[in-house]
Amino acid sequence: MGSIYRRGDSKFLWIAYYKDGRQFLESTRSESENCAKNLLKLREGEIAQGKQPAVLYDRVRVDELLEDLVTDYRINERKSLRTLNGNVAILKKEFGGFKASRIDTARIRAFIDKRMKEGVAYATINRSLAALKRAYTLALQCTPPKVAAVPYIPMLKESNTRKGFFERDEYLKLKAALPFYLRPILTFGYMYGWRRGEIRNLTWDQVDLTQGVVRLEPGMAKNEQAREVYLNEECLRDLVFLYATRGNCKYVFHWRGRKIGDFRKTWASAYRKIGLKEKLFHDLRRTAVRDLVRSGVPERVAMQITGHRTRAVFDRYNIVSSDDLRKATDYVG
């Protein structure tokens, strides 16, 4: 049975109630006895339904939820941990110190508005919002739960999706401008649409030169799905050379026996040489999707080669070029 009482150090009324033999004390934040009675009735009703006393939720701060999220990424060896840390830093700056139970949609909308006024891309804002939502979801799944509910977190419509892809002549010009040790990486990305990290981290135990097959283990793929491709003549020739010059390097794509590191500066320099607007390495991914489908490869097979798990993302990358549209006129009339 609960009770209402006064504390000498507070002007508000307090309530006391029990769950599983444990006493909970909570300020009503009001001097009204009716408010105190209603709050006590609410708490006793929650306990009767097997819920956690709400006063426990008020002890949990957003910082704790975000730290739990980072821990979850770390123990599950998520490859996007580095990106997450950046988003967590942004969220802590905005919501750090706040009680998790006090973060509502209005406060989240204010955060979105602030970031938009700062000129931050919609996609970047959405990544932060997704991290916040995941933090609350994990907190709700805890035993006992750390939050009573996940607040509604509105997402922005991303209309700034990149649509760049490589035409054959641009690929050949870039390949000629790049140092020879980066050319095999460019070729592999152009042919099969694998992510830069997946290519750079490929090891020789995943390559069968006799059969001309490369296999990507589930733990190395972003979507955690295994993948394999059969090498065409150009890629097979590259890998045979790399194998012969590997020394003790376990990585397929190397430079003088050492794994190739970040090559963005060299990539940008090559583009300056050829005098074209720079494209991202990731643009090779949508290029491979388009070229595979254009050459008649069944879409299901193309998705297996490039590692697309869902049709929605695959369709977004399967972009029609202006050249495709020009060719379509041959069939009109």
> Which bin fits 282, alpha (ψ -120 to 50), beta or left (φ > 0)?
alpha
Q: Which of 161-175, 265-279, 294-308 has the lowest mean pLDDT?
A: 294-308
| Residue whose token pair is 């590259």 | 238
Q: Give me the half-sphere count of Cα atoms (radius 13 Å) on the Cβ side of residue 9.
A: 1
Q: Are residues 8 and 92 in the same domain?
A: no
Percent of the chain having pLDDT more than 90? 47
Domain ranges, residue 30: 3-57
Q: What is the pLDDT of residue 299?
A: 74
The Cα–Cα gap between 51 and 311 comes to 40
H-assigned helices in the chain = 33-48, 54-57, 62-75, 81-95, 105-117, 122-141, 168-177, 183-192, 196-200, 233-244, 264-274, 283-294, 299-306, 311-317, 322-328
Query: What is each CA distance from 147 to 73, 130, 171, in whole angstroms?
Result: 20, 17, 51
Q: pLDDT digit string (tens) for 65-91?
A: 999 999 999 998 887 888 899 999 999
Q: Are residues 227 and 283 in the same domain?
A: yes
Mean of per-residue pLDDT scores for the chain: 85
Name which residue leads in pLDDT, 288 or 24. 288
DSSP H or E segment with residue 147: none
Secondary structure (3-state) at 67: helix
Q: What is the pLDDT of residue 287?
A: 87
**DSSP for 76-128?**
TT-TTHHHHHHHHHHHHHHHTTSBGGG--HHHHHHHHHHHHHTT--HHHHHHH
Residue 127 lies in a domain: yes
Q: Are residues 53 and 66 in the same domain?
A: no
Q: pLDDT digit string (tens) for 179-210?
A: 999 999 999 999 998 989 889 999 999 999 99
Q: What is the pLDDT of residue 325?
A: 46
Query: What is each CA distance from 251 to 193, 236, 261, 307, in whole angstroms?
Result: 19, 16, 11, 20
Q: Are residues 232 and 292 in the same domain?
A: yes
With a cut of 60, say whether residue 323 has pLDDT above it. no
The Cα–Cα gap between 229 and 234 comes to 14
The Cα–Cα gap between 147 and 241 comes to 57
Q: Are residues 69 and 173 in the same domain?
A: no
The Cα–Cα gap between 262 and 233 comes to 27
With a cut of 50, say whether residue 331 has pLDDT above it. no
Q: Are residues 47 and 83 in the same domain?
A: no
The Cα–Cα gap between 52 and 184 comes to 58
With a cut of 80, say whether residue 304 has pLDDT above it. no
With a cut of 90, say whether residue 93 has pLDDT above it. yes
Instruction: Indicate the number of domains in the chain.
Output: 3
Q: pLDDT digit string (tens) for 242-260?
A: 999 999 999 999 998 999 9
Q: Are residues 9 and 86 in the same domain?
A: no
Q: What is the pLDDT of residue 252?
A: 96
Q: What is the pLDDT of residue 176?
A: 96
Q: What is the pLDDT of residue 82?
A: 84
Residue 163 lies in a domain: no
* Average of per-residue pLDDT across 109-126: 92
